[in-house]
Structure 1
Amino acid sequence: MSVPTISLHDFDVRRQEIINELMDASMNVGFFTLSNHGIPLEDVQAAFDLSRDFFALPDEVKSKTPLNGKNAGWEKNTQVRPSTGTADQKESMQLQFARMDGLWPSDEDIPAFRAIAEKFMHQVRDLSVKVMECFAEGLGLPLDTFTQGTVDPGVGDSQDVLRLLHYHSTEGKTFGPNFWRAGAHADFDVLTMLFQRDGEGGLEVCPGRKVVGDFGMGQEWLPVEARLDRIVCNIGDQLMRWSDDRLKSTYHRVRLPEGEERRGPRYSIAFFNQARTDSIIQGPQKKYPPITGGQFIADAMAKNRMQSAEIAKLAAKESAEEVASRIHFVPQHLQAAA
């Protein structure tokens, strides 16, 4: 098994072929990469330049726009994965189409930050519409099922997030065996579209989940090549539920550099398509009860907070040396994979 690459060239002519390839990848792997996707590479590079300039600012400047309770703003080393019990070795800036009052970096700190970011956000969202329409058609649903459910018509209820990510350099540093740039997790959105820079790898995926919400996975982690000209896409828990488990939301992680791999910083940019606050998520077979996009996100975040809080309680009983030097607090359902 491998993560397939799907070309979008001649999209209108090859539409059915592309739908077939997207459905096969999403039902069996949960991940795929897009080539010939239509977003100019200079615009992708401009987004990365913006990200690099933002994260190069002093923490006291970045902290002017702190992460709020609505999934927007800047955070650093705060995301603890229940799968690992350790904080991801990264910082991020989360941007939305809504709920951004007071959270845009000022032009004095980063010139034209909002204009550049919003242009890119709209480009990625427009591309995601094409992909989500293909999913709807492949599932035999009305074409606008997922786009109407995610794209804000102007009422301000979008939950889409563009996340700028900066993974810290590991040069001269040592870590315990259970530290990750991003610990194993499944996304809880509809569709994730991830941009990476050439040579800044570490992303791995592990297919094997059968139903949404479980912790099942296979035994093999598949590497995903980092290329600026390709977009890595994966199904999230919302779409897995919306498709009655036909499309698979897959566990993935970003490992720390190994061997002779470069140990400098890693940058990536993720766009999370999420159901609008009041959109109803329910598949055609009604395998699961209906739930709104807002409630789905609230439940997922609450569950993660509870798991992380329990991990923190356990960690408080251990010495700092023990916490930093061994695998610890890996939940039973993930011990085999760890």
Structure 2
Amino acid sequence: MSQIPTLDIRRYDTDRDAFVAELGAAYREWGFAGINHHGIPQRLIDESYDVFKRFFALPDEVKRKYHVPGGGGARGYTPFGIETAKGAKHFDLKEFWHVGRELPPGSKYADVMPPNLWPDEVPDFRDKAYALYQALDQLGARVLCALALHIGLPENYFADKTNNGNSILRPIHYPPITADDIPNVRAGAHEDINFITLLVGASAAGLEVRAHNGDWVPFTADADTIVVNIGDMLQRLTNHVYPSTTHRVTNPPGEQARKPRYSTPFFLHPNPDFLIDVLPSCITPERPSRYPEPITAHGYLEERLREIKLR
């Protein structure tokens, strides 16, 4: 079976045409790729995971102080047993925290992008988490430059459409599994909502990607690799030229299930008022538009959050 490729993003500067072609081909085939030599210091990743683990180790009643009822999990803490993959019978086996963009005073997006919450009990959480947020935001922008070139758009096409995006850094804790017969999985089969997702430093195996033939393909990246996949918003914008591929996080076998798992995806979103309208360059006689009605990024996000029981 062919494997999901991992590519050196330094080649975007040294061998651009070849890198763009290979990255675009990976996304057309898989909707997933690994990116290495990305320039994000391992120390920042390690220190971020340290503060995340310290937060998740706090007593349940302390963590719940940072849960915002009715907030759709937009900021702060979402407890175990809430998020449920679209169409799934059982909730995911995880708890998580959301870090969003820090908006300047008077931003027109303040009504849909609430301010961040920060846990007092972990004093360095804010500095480490937001530094990682910014680093992944910048890396995501580089990946979008390459994808834009691959489909015949200007390199900086996405720059002013994502510079105030409602992007989310989501540290996740999957607690140890203590029963052998639970029907739940750590994260049910799903597609992401956003433009692209960057997954940094997953601490254990478990991520699986569904191939065209329906097989589940494990994708455990090397320590220095960030997994980047296409989300539904970019799939819709590109008329499925870039597919948003179904993926899941399975429960490990045996004693491995008794260990916690941590991972941190960064969900890169367009600006809330960006109109997701199929790109003309992605419409052909063989590929007619699947989405004649455009929708704003915020309107689409609200629809999807209701489906996964965060609204």
SS of the equivalent of 2:99 reads strand
Q: Which residue of 2 aligns with 1:189?
A: 194
- What amino acid maps onto 1:126 in structure 2? Q
Q: Distance in 1 between matches of 2:150 and 2:246?
A: 23
Q: Distance in 2 between matches of 1:196 and 1:120?
A: 12
C-alpha contact 2:83 2:308 (8 A) present in aligned 1:
no
Q: Match for 2:249 among 242, 251, 254? A: 254
Q: In the TM superposition, what whole-angstrom CA distance separates every residue of 1:268-292 from its partner, at most 9, and x where no partner exists?
A: 0000001211011122226223211
Q: Distance in 2 between matches of 1:227 and 1:261?
A: 19
1:173 to partner: Cα distance: 2.2
C-alpha contact 2:52 2:125 (8 A) present in aligned 1:
no
C-alpha contact 2:76 2:116 (8 A) present in aligned 1:
no
C-alpha contact 1:41 1:228 (8 A) present in aligned 2:
no
Q: Match for 1:162 among 154, 165, 169? A: 169
Q: Match for 2:295 among 285, 291, 296? A: 291
Q: In the TM superposition, what whole-angstrom CA distance separates every residue of 1:147-170 from its partner, at most 9, and x where no partner exists?
A: 322221xxxxx3100000000112
Q: Which residue of 1 aligns with 2:234?
A: 239
1:86 to partner: Cα distance: 0.6
Aligned residues: 288
C-alpha contact 1:66 1:103 (8 A) present in aligned 2:
no
Identity over aligned pairs, percent: 32
Q: In the TM superposition, what whole-angstrom CA distance separates every residue of 1:5-49 from its partner, at most 9, and x where no partner exists?
A: 111234311222221111011101011111111111111111111
C-alpha contact 1:197 1:227 (8 A) present in aligned 2:
no
Normalised to the residue count of structure 1, the TM-score between the two structures is: 0.80
C-alpha contact 2:74 2:114 (8 A) present in aligned 1:
no
C-alpha contact 1:162 1:271 (8 A) present in aligned 2:
yes
Normalised to the residue count of structure 2, the TM-score between the two structures is: 0.87
Q: Taking structure 1 as reference, are residues 122 and 255 closer, same or farther at Cα in structure 2, changes over 3 Å only?
A: same
Q: Distance in 1 between matches of 2:170 and 2:21?
A: 29
Matched, 1:72 2:72: no
1:226 to partner: Cα distance: 4.2
Q: Distance in 2 between matches of 1:52 and 1:290?
A: 40
**Where do 4+ consecutive residues of structure 1 move more than 6 Å?**
none
Q: Which residue of 2 aligns with 1:43?
A: 44
Matched, 1:225 2:237: no
Q: Distance in 1 between matches of 2:54 and 2:114?
A: 20
SS of the equivalent of 2:20 reads helix
Unaligned stretches of 5+ in structure 1? 153-157, 209-217, 310-338
- What amino acid maps onto 1:69 in structure 2? G
Q: Which residue of 2 aligns with 1:105?
A: 119
Matched, 1:265 2:260: yes
Q: Which residue of 2 aligns with 1:82?
A: 86
